[in-house]
Amino acid sequence: MKIAVCVKQVPDAAAPRRLDPQTKRLDRSGEGVLNAFDVHAVEEALRLKEAAGGGEVLLVTMAPEGAQDTLRKALAMGADRALLISDEAAAGSDLVATSYALAKALEREEPDLVLFGQQASDSDGAVLWAAVADRLRLPTISQVAELSLAEGRVRGKRQTEFGYDVIEAPLPAVVAVSDAINEPRYPSLKGIMSAKSKPQELVSLTALGVEPDRAGDQGSRTEVYALGDPPARGDSQKISDDGSGAEQIVAFLVERRLV
């Protein structure tokens, strides 16, 4: 059983974020961390491997070479190896270009199951897994809160506003897990030490067979035309509650004929 987990390095949420006015992209020059949603996917892959009594958990990502440090967290959790697509020509890749490169890497590895976190904290698009599944022509299940494998099939359970959906699909398949599926483990000291020696393969777009016009700006199908500051807030009035806060609020609303 080979399980591939597609992960993403995202900017640290504790650090200030800014959009680069020149490239019109998110500035990623600061410290990166492993996307929190993807940590749940890594944990679920490890649990499936343990339940099966063996197998391999492979991390797949596209990022600058410095993302190796970020990948070590998932390797320390117990993942076996990492495949890092690192190429300057990939800079600026949107959903279309990124999904194509990831699909090429997954085609080469031929995993039995591909796991994604439901979304990424730096974009919240929540559609990359669907795009990759479409390129691979594989069945997909999203928002999975319970996952199991049996007899060459995957079963996912997800909560909806009307109850629960239970969906089965044959393997290989692509599954996007929610953050409700598990509580990720903390890497042990042994895991942290062993992560330093686990293989991290760097591959270029060319090595995966990705054509130059299908990556980066050339391969992207979205374009940001302009950036603008958010509109200024309208006039506001601060009310300090000295015991008459409720009366002040009512007077404010009456003045504007809102009550």
The pLDDT tens digits for 184-228 are 999 999 999 999 999 999 999 999 999 999 999 889 988 888 888
Q: What is the mean pLDDT of residues 69-94?
A: 94
Comparing CA positions, the residue from 18, 57, 15, 16 lying closest to residue 38 is 57
Q: What is the mean pLDDT of residues 112-141?
A: 93
Share of the chain above pLDDT 70, in %: 99
Comparing CA positions, the residue from 82, 63, 85, 86 lying closest to residue 71 is 82
For residue 127, the domain's CATH number is 3.40.50.620
Residue 176 lies in a domain: yes
Q: Which residues contact 85 (CB under 8 A, 6 or more apart)?
A: 60, 61, 62, 63, 101, 102, 105, 203, 204, 205, 208
pLDDT tens by residue, 131-184: 999 999 999 999 999 999 999 999 999 988 889 999 999 999 999 999 999 999
Model confidence, pTM? 0.85
Rounded-to-integer distance, Cα 69 and Cα 248, Å: 55
Average the pLDDT over each of 53-62, 70-79, 222-231 and give the range with the smallest value.
222-231
Q: What is the DSSP letter of 76?
A: H
Domain housing 141:
2-219
Residue 162 lies in a domain: yes
- Look at residue 259 and tell me whether its pLDDT is greater than 90: no
Residue 236 lies in a domain: no
Average the pLDDT over each of 63-77, 93-107, 128-142, 233-247 and give the range with the smallest value.
233-247
pLDDT value at position 40?
97
Beta bridge partners of 113: 3, 173
pLDDT value at position 19?
76
Tell me the chain's radius of gyration from C-alpha atoms. 22
Residue 224 lies in a domain: no
pLDDT value at position 240?
81
Residue 257 lies in a domain: no
- Look at residue 237 and tell me whether its pLDDT is greater than 80: no
Residue 234 lies in a domain: no
Number of structural domains found in the chain: 1
Q: How many CB atoms lie within 10 A of CB 58?
A: 22
Rounded-to-integer distance, Cα 172 and Cα 186, Å: 29
Share of the chain above pLDDT 90, in %: 66
Dihedral, 163, 138, 149, 71 alpha carbons, nearest 10: -100
Residue 40 lies in a domain: yes
Q: What is the mean pLDDT of the chain?
A: 91
Residue 248 lies in a domain: no
